[in-house]
A and B are shown apart, each in its own frame.
Chain A
C-alpha cells in the first residue's frame, strides 16, 4: 500500500494529517499489519489533552495490546466513534475511514520533525530487514 503524501509519520507508526489548526491521527498500514486482526479500540473522550510522544489510547488485536502515541500535542475535538463497533476497519482502511481522533494542535510546527511518506517507507523497509535478519 502506498503511503499518502498528504501527512507525516512517526517512528511508532502513527500518521498525522493537518488541515488548518486541526489534525487527524491514525495508525499506519504497517502498524495494522503487524497487529493482525484488530478487535478493540480504546480512545480518549473529546476535550482530553494529548502530548506529543505520549500514549493517548490503545488498539488491541487478537494477540496483543498496542499503545498509540500522539504524533503532536493538542486537545481532542472528535473521536471516530464508528470504530467501537467496527474495529476491523483499522485493518481494512487504516489511512482513510479508520482515522482515530481529530485534535486541535497546540503547535502545528511540531509535526515538521516527523517523517514524510518517502522517509517513512524507507524506515519501515529498514525495520522489516532487521526483523527478518
Chain B
C-alpha cells in the first residue's frame, strides 16, 4: 500500500497480479480498479436557471455548453496564467447540474478554488467526494462483463456518455463510458458505504472470472494511461505548464465565452510555445524515469522526462518529456541521462498505444 492523496492504495494486487499481468488483463480482457480516491464536485443552479452552466463555463476550458444531459467531456480548471489547477471530467448530470470528477491529490485545493471562483454565481457547489465508491471496469470485455450485472443496455451508452441504471441490485447507479486506460470501459459510481462497496467489488470480480479479470492497482493505472498518453497531474500538467505546451488544444474552446486563463492563453498562442510534450522510445538499454534530464545529440540539455516506464504492452521503454518544438521532430534522436550515462532515445508519434477499432 502507498499513500496517495490521503488514501492507502495498492500499487499492485497479490498474485496472479503484478503490474504486467494487470496491465495485460486490461489490454486483452478486463480489469477492475478502485478509483474512489477521485474527487467529485457537484455544481447546481439552485433556483437560478443557467447559473451552473455559467459557472462551469467560467472555471473550465472546454465548452460545457455543448453537453447534453448524460454526456461528459474532458476539460481542465486553469489559473489566470493558463496553467493547470487540475484536469477534470465534466458530466452534465441534469438540465441544471454538472458533476466534476477531479484528482485525489488536488481535492482540497480544487474544492476551495471552485468555491472561490464561482462565488459571484448564484449556483451551489457541493463536495461529494465521500459519497461515492468509484469503480473503473476497463478493457475490451468490460461491457460484456458489466452487462451481466446491469439492467440497462450498456451498448447504447456511447463513449463519454453516461446513464443511470440498476447495478448489482442498486438503483440509480451512475454508469459512464469513461476511463483512464486508453481502452474501452466504464466507470460506475456506487454508494460509498463499506458493505455496498465490497459487495459490488466482489460481484464484478466473480462475474469477470471466466473472462480473466484482474483487480488492478495504481501501477497498472499509470502504465496504461502512459501508453495512451493521458496526462497525469504533477507530471504532464501542473501550475507551471500551459494548455498549448501540454498539447491539450482540442479540449480548450477559445471561441466559447471568456474563462479563467483565456487571456493568458491568447497571449501565449500569439508568442508561440517554447516547449512541447513529446513521446520518446529508448533505443539504448535503459529506462527513462520521471525527472531524468533530456539532451540533444550535441549534449545540450533540452528538457525533462515527465513520465517514463517500461511499456508492458509494447515491450519497449517509453517516456514523455517536455522539449523545445524544434527538437520534437518524429525520428529525431535525443539522449536521456540515466544514472550518469547518456542513453539514446528516439522521438516517436503518440499516443504510444491506440486501441484497435472493433
Which residue numbers of A lie inside 8 Å of B, CB to CB?
36-37, 39-40, 42, 58, 60-63, 65, 84
Partner-binding segment picked from B120-128, B145-153, B252-260, B284-292: B284-292
- SS of B interface (majority): loop
Is B200 in contact with chain A by the CB < 8 A criterion?
no
Residue on A with the closest CB to B286? A40
CA A61 to CA B12, docked complex, whole Å:
12
Contacts of B19 in A (CB 8 A): 36-37, 61-63
In the complex the two chains form, is B223's CB within 8 Å of A62's CB?
Answer: yes
A40 to B20, CA, bound (A): 14
Given contacts A62-B223, A62-B312, 9 further A-B contacts (CB under 8 A): A36-B19, A37-B19, A62-B19, A62-B219, A62-B310, A63-B12, A63-B219, A65-B287, A84-B285
Cβ B289 vs Cβ A62 within 8 A: no
Contacts of A58 in B (CB 8 A): 339
What 1/0 flags go to B329-342 for Cβ under 8 Å of A? 00000000001000
Closest 9 CB pairs of A and B: A62-B19, A39-B310, A37-B20, A63-B219, A37-B18, A62-B310, A60-B287, A37-B19, A36-B19
User: Is A36 a contact of B310 with CB atoms below 8 Å?
Assistant: no
For B89-125 the 0/1 string (1 means CB < 8 A from A) is 0000000000000000000000000000000000000
| B interface residues, Cβ below 8 angstroms from A | 11-12, 18-20, 219, 222-223, 285-287, 289, 309-310, 312, 339
Chain B nearest CB: distance from A66 CB in Å?
12
When distances are taken between beta carbons in the complex, the residues of chain A under 8 Å from B223 are: 62
**Which residues of the other chain, A, contact B287 by a CB distance below 8 angstroms?**
39-40, 60, 65
Residues of chain A with a CB closer than 8 A to B219's CB = 36, 62-63
For A62, list chain B residues within 8 Å (CB).
19-20, 219, 223, 309-310, 312
**Chain A residues whose CB sits within 8 angstroms of the CB of B18 once the complex forms:** 36-37
| Cα(A39)–Cα(B288), bound, Å | 13
* Complex A-B: 28 CB contacts under 8 Å: A36-B11, A36-B12, A36-B18, A36-B19, A36-B219, A37-B19, A39-B287, A39-B310, A40-B285, A40-B286, A40-B287, A40-B310, A42-B286, A42-B339, A60-B287, A60-B310, A61-B19, A62-B19, A62-B20, A62-B219, A62-B309, A62-B310, A62-B312, A63-B12, A63-B219, A63-B309, A65-B287, A84-B285
- B11: nearest residue on chain A (CB-CB)? A63
Q: How far is the CB of B184 from chain A (nearest CB, A)?
A: 23
